[in-house]
Amino acid sequence: MRTRVLGTFTIAALALLAVMALVVTPADVNQQDAVRFLYVHVPLATLMYVAFGITALGSVLYLLPRTRARKWDLLAGTSAEIGVVVTGLVLVTGSVWGRTTWGVWWTWDARLTTTAVLFVVFLGYLALRRVSGDADIRAKRNSIAALAACIDLPIVHKSVEWWRTLHQKSSLLDEETFMHPHIHGTMYWTVMLGIGAFLLLFSWLLIHRYRLARLEDRLEDEGLERALAERRAEALAASS
């Protein structure tokens, strides 16, 4: 019931975002209508940080003996799955936006390159999660790999400050511009609405994917127990 309510609010927020982004907000003086990518690209980028941040948090909680539980490893994995999809969308929307503003689909810009590295590294993390083995050892391995992959997150964020880059500085997440953003009026509030709407969507997806991961984990455990029981039965039959 709660997820249905969350889903309803998500749809309503996304619909309102579409109206605000496409109808209400004005075109930019320099970018014209291409600025409307802002209302999707920036919320997706924010979501990328949130998703991989939850992966890092879940990994830390699993590695700490006091809080170690299977649920934290599952949460880290499910959030990373959504994060990889979101990062892919960040790269795609950024590429299309770059084509309209820079005149090229891709350039080895610091922000673009570090984000692409983040995408590839977390694809590797998801592949590592599929490697079989003892459940506890596998979860520890996953957690260490996730924390290693998350090292790139602050590099992505600071890349526009550490290197000369075509990519502009963050409009909302930069420490210097957080209280005094570069955008104002309906454009600012539409970006904030987009962040809120996409966070609702992320929450809805995370809840459902986590539930599915719990079911998959339970089926895997039941399958292992069934296989062990069959092997014991075969051993008893052979000995008798």
Mean of the pLDDT values across residues 161-187? 62
Stronger pLDDT, 222 or 209, i.e. the higher one: 209
| The pLDDT of residue 221 is above 60 | no
The pTM score is 0.83
| The pLDDT of residue 179 is above 60 | no
- Per-residue pLDDT, 53: 95
DSSP, residue by residue, 78-132: HHHHHHHHHHHHHHHHHHHHHHHHTS-S----HHHHHHHHHHHHHHHHHHHHTS-
Query: Which of these ranges, 3-17, 18-32, 60-74, 162-176, has the smallest mean pLDDT?
Result: 162-176
Residues 115 and 68: their CA atoms lie apart, in Å, by 30
Q: Where are the domains of the chain?
A: 2-163+181-239
| The pLDDT of residue 185 is above 90 | no
- Per-residue pLDDT, 39: 86
- Per-residue pLDDT, 145: 94
- Per-residue pLDDT, 186: 80
Q: What mean pLDDT is reported for the chain? A: 82
| The pLDDT of residue 103 is above 80 | no
Instruction: Please check whether residue 205 is in contact with residue 81, taking contact to mean a CB–CB distance below 8 angstroms.
Output: no
- Per-residue pLDDT, 167: 62
Residues 231 and 43: their CA atoms lie apart, in Å, by 52
